[in-house]
Amino acid sequence: MNYHRGKMCVLALGGNALIRKGQKGTIQEQETNAEEVTREVFPLVSLGYNLVVTHGNGPQVGHQLIQNERGSSEVPAMPLDVCVADTEGSMGYVLQQAILNELRRHHMKNVYVVTMITEVLVDKSDPAFANPTKPVGSFYTREQSDRLIKEEGWAMVEDAGRGWRRVVPSPMPGKIVQRYMIRDLCRQGNIVIALGGGGIPIWRNKNDDYEGIEAVIDKDLASSELAKVIHADLFIILTPEKEVYLDYNKPSQRPIRSMSLKEARHHLAEGQFPPGSMGPKIQAVVNFLEQEDGTAVITDGPSLAAALDGKAGTTITR
């Protein structure tokens, strides 16, 4: 194989990278956002990194579940694993086209872009399956919730006074099935878009065959697993925040420009990074650095170029 270019980088985009707060999620909005994200991350390409882009898909899957519900009288509703696969493909297409156009603008004709529909094996015995916690889809009234629990067997929770929502398991990511294909395509100098929404959750059924399961995998934890298995030199998580903060949203809030693995573990253990906020991102970085002697960066898109020079964002190393 013709391996070339430079070091390996896994870049994890936030779940709202293509649908921003307050937007409806039209294809025009998503294409415009993809162009903006591409311009922000393009310094990595210009610097010669072999790049894998991962991304969340929460808003897109939410829209698909609403379409499922409202169209179920006309066409069969699809299970959650299929919705994840659908959004991996559609979001991959939007990102792929934006990146290809940016490559053409820079006359980089020897770099190609490929979207990899990615499956992630999860463990049947994962405690998450006994305790679903990840809200997905629409809000319902209490009466609708009771009906769905009875008719569909869904687990439902009340969500911050806004109504009742379905919750699904969020198991830990295991083996990434297409890991070596992603690695080899990336090493050849291609830009690979993979692990959309954390990947499609699958498990082994009673016949030991792979089978989709209705669950959601955290995309940062899955991206960390991928970064480890392909031996990435750089692991980047883009968030809405410019930096990681201690005492977030408190009068004593202060940014962290750099942090060691030991410090990251300590702050995580003392509860500085809540599970529903920065917690999974810091845990993903810790998981990566415990195995790989690389560098992790957490920042927002507009600050990425400066963060690569150590002038913004939060950099974590061993």
**Separation of alpha carbons 301 and 80, rounded Å:** 29
Q: What angle do CA 307, 282, 178 make, to 5 degrees?
A: 90
**217 backbone φψ class: left, alpha, beta (φ>0; ψ -120 to 50):** beta
Residue of 33, 50, 197, 219 marked active site = 219
Of the residues 16, 163, 174, 190, which is catalytic? 16
215 and 80 Cβ atoms separated by less than 8 Å: yes
Closest CA to 52 of 8, 84, 94, 18: 8
d(CA 43, CA 188): 19
* Residue 175 bears catalytic tag: no
Half-sphere exposure of 238 (CA within 13 A, CB side): 24
Active-site residue 279, yes or no? no
Distance from C-alpha of 193 to C-alpha of 52, rounded to nearest angstrom: 6
Map residue 244 onto helix, strand or coil: strand
CB 155 within 8 A of CB 133: no
Q: Are 106 and 160 in contact (CB under 8 A)?
A: no
- Is residue 85 within 8 A of residue 164, CB to CB? The reply is no
Question: Residue 311's CB: how many other CB atoms inside 10 A?
Answer: 10
Q: Is 16 an active-site residue?
A: yes
Question: Alpha-carbon distance 16 to 13, whole Å?
Answer: 8
Q: For residue 3, count CB atoms less than 10 angstroms from its CB and return exposed for 0-12, middle for 13-18, buried for 19 or more.
A: exposed
Catalytic: which of 25, 134, 212, 279?
Answer: 134
Dmax (CA) for the chain in angstroms is 60
Residue 110 a catalytic site member: no
Is 58 part of the annotated catalytic residue set? Answer: no
Q: Which of 15, 92, 197, 313 is catalytic?
A: 15
Q: Which residues are catalytic?
A: 15-16, 134, 219, 281
